[in-house]
Structure 1
Amino acid sequence: MRETGLIVIILALSVAMTFASPHFATWGNVRAMLMSFSVEGIVVVGMTVLLIVGGIDLSVGSVVCFSMVVSGAMFLMGVDPWTASLIGISVSALIGAAMGFFVTVVGLNHFITSLAAMVIVRGMSLIVTKGTPLSLFTLPPEFKAIGQGEFYGIPFVIIIFVAVVVMFDFLLRRATAFRKVFYTGSNEKAAQYSGIRTRQVKFWVTVLCSTLAGVAGVIYMSRFGAATPTFGVGMELNIIAAAVIGGASLNGGSGTIFGAILGMALLSVVSSSLILLDVSVYWQDMIKGCILLGAVSIDHFLHSKKR
C-alpha cells in the first residue's frame, strides 16, 4: 500500500509539473533526475536493510567521501584506479566492521556509534587531503566510463543502480539469510530463541551498508574526476528520508528496497520541481524536512495502531 501510494503521488506531481514547467518532462531533466538519485540510491539500499534490522547509520555521507578520498589518494600514488577503488571499498567495509563491533560486542547503539563514526571518518578525509580537493583528471577513460559513459544512450550509472536494486530487492524478498534481517528487527529476543545469531546479522548488515557507501564513493569519483573532503555532507538526511518515506520503519522489522527507491524518486522529483519553479534553496531544505517529518509521523501512527 505504501509503494502504491508513492507511485500515485509521484505520477500526480509529475503530471502537475508537466503543465507548470515545459522543461520538466524533457529527456534532459528526466536524465538529470535519474543521475541525481542513482548513486545515492545504492546507499539507500544498504540503509534500508540496516533500518529493517533495527539500526541506523549516520556516517554514510562521510564513508562515501572517505572512499573517494582513499581511492583518489592511492591513484595519485601510482596505484591503478581499479585496485585503488577496491582498496577504497575495502576500507569502507572495515569502517562498517568497526561500527558493527561496537554495536554487537561493546553494546553501544547504532545511533551513537554511527554519529561518532561520522565525525571520525570526516576528520580522516580532511587529514588525508589536508583539506584540499584531489584533482583526478588523469583517470583513464575506461575508468571514467563508469560514471560518465553510456550504453545505447543509457548512462552506466543508472544500469549499475538498477542492477543493485533488482538484486537486493530479490534477496530481501526471497533469500533465507535476508529473512533473518526481518526476524531480528521485528523481535530480537524471539529471533534468538529461534536459533538466529542476531549479533552476526546486525554485524554483517552494518558492514553491508558501509560497503555500498564505499561503492557509491568510487562511482562519484569516476563521475566527477575529483575527491573533495567535504563531499557528502548532509547526504545521510536524504538517504534516511528516502528509506523512511518508502516504508522502512525506524523501529525495525519492516521495509522494502523498491519502496525506498520510490522514496528517493519522490525526493528527486520534489527537488527538481522546486528548482524549475525557482524556489529558494532554503525553502527546499525546509520542505524536504517536512516531508521526512510527515513520513515518520505516518510510520509512528501505523505502528501504534498495529500495537
Structure 2
Amino acid sequence: MSLQILDKQAAPSLMSRVISACLHTRELTLLLMILGIVVMMSFVTPYFLSASNFRAVAVGMTPTAIIVIGMAILLASGGFDLSVGSVMALSSTVVALLLLAGVPMPVAVILGLLLGAVAGLVNGILITMIGINPLVATLGTMSIARGIALVLTEGFSVSSLPPAFGYIGKASLLGIPLLVILTLSLIILFDLAVRHTRFFRQIYFIGANEKAAMLSGIAVNRVRIIAYILTGVLAALAGVLLASRLMSGTPTAGNALELQVLAAAVIGGASLRGGEGTILGAFLGVVFVALINNAMTMLAVSIYWQMIVIGAVLVCAVALDMLVRRQST
C-alpha cells in the first residue's frame, strides 16, 4: 500500500521535473519547435523550403527582430513599450520627408534615430519620473507617434526617394541580404552585451527585485530611462531600414507590430514580471512567429485568422510563463 502511494507521488514529481526542464530550456525547445514547423511544412508544400521563401521570411522579419531586442531588455527590467510600431512608422516617414526636402542622407538617418531616442526618453520620463503605468504611458505615445506620422503625410506613403538610400535595403553579400546580416549582427552584439556587461545585468536585477536593486546602489530610474531610449532608437532604426527596403516612408507601417514583438519576446523566455529572458530567445521567438505567419500564408489562411492565431500564441506564451513561475516556487 505504501509503495503505491510513493509511486503516485513520484509520478507527478517526475512529470513536473520533465515539464520544468523543457520550459526552462526555452531556447532549445523553441529551436526544436522551429525545426518541427520546417519539417512539417516541407511535406505540405514544396515551395516552403525554397531559397526565395526563406529569403522573403528573413527579410520580412528584420524589423520585428531588431525591435524585439529592446522589448526583451525592457521586459527584463519589468517594463514594456507598446509604441514601438508607431515609432518605427514615424521614423520611416520623417526620414523620407527629410530626404525629399534635400537633407543629406546621413543627416536624415541620424535625425530619424534621434526621433526614436526622444520617443524613448518621453516614455522613460513618463514611467519613471511621473509614475504613469507603462501600459497607459506607451499607449499614449503610440497614439501620438502614429498621429504625427499621419498628419505629416495625410495618410499617404512618401515615395520617390533617392536611389542611393535603397542600397542597404536591396543589397546582398554572398547572396545574403545586408538587412539580414545587420540584424543578426545586432542580435549577437546585444546578446553578448546582456550576458557579459554590468549595465545590462543591472536591468535584470531591477526586474527581479527593484527595492533590492535600489538598496544595492543601482540608479533604477536612470537605467530604465536608458532602456526605453535604446528601445526607441532600435524602433527608429527598424523604420529607417524598412524605408530603405520599400523605398518609401509609410505612416501606417508597423500597425499591431507591438503584439508580435511582445509575443515573440515572451515565447522566447522573457517574463512580464521582469528579471528573465535573453536576446537569443527573443530572436528565436521572432523566427517562430514569422514561420507560423509564413506557413499560414502558404496555406492560404485569411489574414484575419492570422491575427487570431498570433493573439492565441501570445496568450499561450503568457500562460506558459505563469506555469514556469509556479513550478519554480
Tell me which interval the TM-score lies in, with the shorter structure as reference length.
over 0.9
What does residue 41 of structure 2 align with? 17
User: 1:260 corresponds to which letter in structure 2?
Assistant: A
Distance 1:294 1:138 in 2: 42
Distance 1:131 1:278 in 2: 29
SS at match of 2:218: coil
What does residue 301 of structure 2 align with? 279
Mapping for residues 137-148 of structure 1, pairs under 5 Å: 137-141=160-164, 143-148=165-170
Instruction: Kindly provide the CA deviation profile for residues 49-105 of structure 1, in whole angstroms up to 9, marking residues without a partner as x.
Output: 011000010000000000011111111111012211110110110111111111111
Identity %: 38
User: 1:169 corresponds to which letter in structure 2?
Assistant: D
What does residue 199 of structure 2 align with? 177
Greater mean deviation of Cα atoms: 33-42 or 213-222: 33-42
Q: Is 1:29 matched with 2:53?
A: yes
What does residue 128 of structure 2 align with? 104
Contact 1:100 1:207 in 2 (8 A): yes
Contact 2:100 2:161 in 1 (8 A): no
Distance 1:175 1:45 in 2: 15
Instruction: Kindly provide the CA deviation profile for residues 273-302 of structure 1, in whole angstroms up to 9, marking residues without a partner as x.
Output: 111112222221111111111111010111
Distance 2:322 2:295 in 1: 28
What does residue 175 of structure 2 align with? 153
Mapping for residues 281-296 of structure 1, pairs under 5 Å: 281-296=303-318
User: 1:14 corresponds to which letter in structure 2?
Assistant: V
What does residue 51 of structure 1 align with? 75
Using the size of structure 2 for normalisation, the TM-score is 0.91
What does residue 266 of structure 1 align with? 288
User: 1:273 corresponds to which letter in structure 2?
Assistant: A
Q: Is 1:219 matched with 2:241?
A: yes
Contact 1:173 1:179 in 2 (8 A): yes
Greater mean deviation of Cα atoms: 42-51 or 123-132: 123-132
Cα deviation, residue 40, structure 1:
1.5
User: 2:299 corresponds to which letter in structure 1?
Assistant: L
Contact 1:132 1:229 in 2 (8 A): yes
Contact 2:161 2:248 in 1 (8 A): no
Cα deviation, residue 229, structure 1:
1.4
SS at match of 2:255: coil
Mark the structure with the bigger radius of gyration.
2
Give the aligned length: 305
What does residue 116 of structure 2 align with? 92
Contact 2:191 2:278 in 1 (8 A): yes
Q: Is 1:120 matched with 2:149?
A: no
What does residue 203 of structure 1 align with? 225
What does residue 243 of structure 1 align with? 265
Cα deviation, residue 39, structure 1:
2.3
Unaligned runs of 5+ in 2: 1-24
Distance 2:154 2:309 in 1: 35
Instruction: Kindly provide the CA deviation profile for residues 182-238 of structure 1, in whole angstroms up to 9, marking residues without a partner as x.
Output: 000000000001111111111100100011000000001100011121111111111
Cα deviation, residue 128, structure 1:
1.3
Contact 1:145 1:156 in 2 (8 A): no
Q: Is 1:61 matched with 2:75?
A: no
What does residue 2 of structure 1 align with? 26
Cα deviation, residue 138, structure 1:
3.6
SS at match of 1:227: coil
Q: Is 1:80 matched with 2:104?
A: yes
User: 1:139 corresponds to which letter in structure 2?
Assistant: P
Contact 2:62 2:238 in 1 (8 A): no
Contact 1:66 1:124 in 2 (8 A): yes
Contact 1:66 1:122 in 2 (8 A): yes
SS at match of 1:134: coil
Distance 2:253 2:311 in 1: 20
Q: Is 1:231 matched with 2:226?
A: no
Distance 1:229 1:13 in 2: 33
